[in-house]
Structure 1
Amino acid sequence: MERHPGTAPDTVTVLWCTTDGDERHKAHTLLVRSAAEMLDVAPSELWLEHEAGGRPFLGGAGEALRVSVTHARGALAVALTGRAPVGVDVEVVRGLRAGALARAWLDPAEAAWVTGLPEGERSAAFLWLWTQKESVGKALGQGLRHGGMSRRVPLPEYWPPGDAAGLVLRPLPDAPELASAAVMVGAGRHIIGVALRGADGSALRGSGVGLQVRRVDGDAYG
């Protein structure tokens, strides 16, 4: 397991896995065990709670960490960092009416990017943006309310994206206090989006915030 993220303040750690069911329970178990290992404490010394709006947080020895949880059918992911509020979202890559959805919901520049791709790549591209928008909403603690779908996220520097090696969260074009990224995992069958909100609304400057994405064994968290 990676070291306590508080010792690497510019890093967000995301752990994910596939599963054959009970995604919610397994995600919570993964989060608590991973946080305990990062903090070098027993799992019994921390616990998972939720704010009134649903955002998860750790109590007890886990108070220093910011966390997020997501699950879709057959997959789950958790994000942990010692830096600032974080959000994570996972989606199964599937066929969508991506062009129509992009034109209806996304910023015009994003919609133009999605519809400019070959038809077979548009669904993944739409979900690549969608997961980031979901993650930004989680980092803000408000979901997709207040125009979350039209909030611009960074377009990819190249497409299709590579693996997570060297991936960084990049500031949003119109909101430098927020940063996001997305990565395809599981041989392109899933997409994970991650977002971070700068502490006290401060801008996330520099070359980007480091992101570590790691697959774990889902059977260990049943």
Structure 2
Amino acid sequence: MDRHPGTAPDTVTVLWCTTDGDERRKAHTLLVRTAADMLDVPPSELWLAHEEGGRPFLGGAGGALEVSVTHARGALAVALTSGSPVGVDVEVVRRLRAEALARAWLAPVEADWVAGLPEEDRSAAFLWLWTQKESVGKALGRGLRQGGMSRRVPLPESWPPGDGAPPVLHPLPGHRETASAATVVGGGRLVIGVARHDGHRPEPRLGEADLRVHQVGPGAYG
């Protein structure tokens, strides 16, 4: 497997792939193998466990890394960094009642943004926001509880966002210690949201974070 510089404090590495089943096991295998590769240790020297609330962590030699895992039907992703809690979420793009869902669950400015897009773009746009909220909840260690869906995330300057450029973590409106981003991958079939939380630092360094998103093949988890 290629070496990824994910142990740098201001780098968040996200690996994703599509799969034909058993997403949970494959995601866990990918995470352990990637962490071992980053740390230059055998996979047997670290293991994946979960806190009481469900947040994953690496034991043994992997204790220096912050990690997150996500899987959906036919897809999975893992995120790794050091120094700051991280969250990742993946969703398969499918047709949704996006405007109605946005009005029910999102902040008004976000719902208005979704409603203002062409109808064929609204499902992906809703998931672009949803995955960020999920990943923020994971980075904070409390999921979508305590108003997680109403917690605003950054809106893109245009849609589709990025115009082919790599995704960039941006601080949440009113919560500068937490930043998120999302990206559409797999030819528009998947949306991946990523977040990290620097609330424990006296001066958060979110603006300096380098987000790297890579697709991997079956050999990474097989």
TM over 0.5: yes
CA deviation after TM superposition for structure 1 residue 202, in Å: 4.7
Larger deviation, residues 194-203 vs 14-23:
194-203
Aligned to 2:72: 72
Aligned to 1:40: 40
CA deviation after TM superposition for structure 1 residue 189, in Å: 0.2
Contact persistence 1:172–1:178 (CA under 8 A):
yes
Larger deviation, residues 204-213 vs 28-37:
204-213
Cα separation, 2, equivalents of 1:203 and 1:122: 36
Is residue 2:23 matched to residue 1:23?
A: yes
CA deviation after TM superposition for structure 1 residue 147, in Å: 0.4
- Distance 1:59-1:163 versus aligned 2 partners, 3 A rule: farther
For structure 1, the 5+ residue unaligned runs are: none
CA deviation after TM superposition for structure 1 residue 57, in Å: 0.1
Cα separation, 2, equivalents of 1:34 and 1:206: 23
Matches within 5 A, 1:66-145: 66-145=66-145
Contact persistence 2:90–2:193 (CA under 8 A):
yes
Is residue 2:167 matched to residue 1:170?
A: no
Matches within 5 A, 1:147-186: 147-162=147-162, 165-186=165-186
Task: Report percent identity of matched pairs.
Answer: 72
Residue 30 of structure 2 aligns with an amino acid whose one-letter code is L
CA deviation after TM superposition for structure 1 residue 206, in Å: 6.4
Cα separation, 2, equivalents of 1:90 and 1:112: 23
Aligned to 2:59: 59
**Match of 1:154, SS?**
coil
Q: Deviations over 1:116-168 (max 9, x none)?
A: 11111111100000000000000011110000000000001221024774422
- Distance 1:202-1:118 versus aligned 2 partners, 3 A rule: farther
Q: TM-score, normalised by structure 1?
A: 0.95
Cα separation, 1, equivalents of 2:212 and 2:128: 17
Q: TM-score, normalised by structure 2?
A: 0.95
Aligned to 2:210: 210
Contact persistence 1:164–1:213 (CA under 8 A):
no
Larger deviation, residues 13-22 vs 163-172:
163-172
Aligned to 1:14: 14
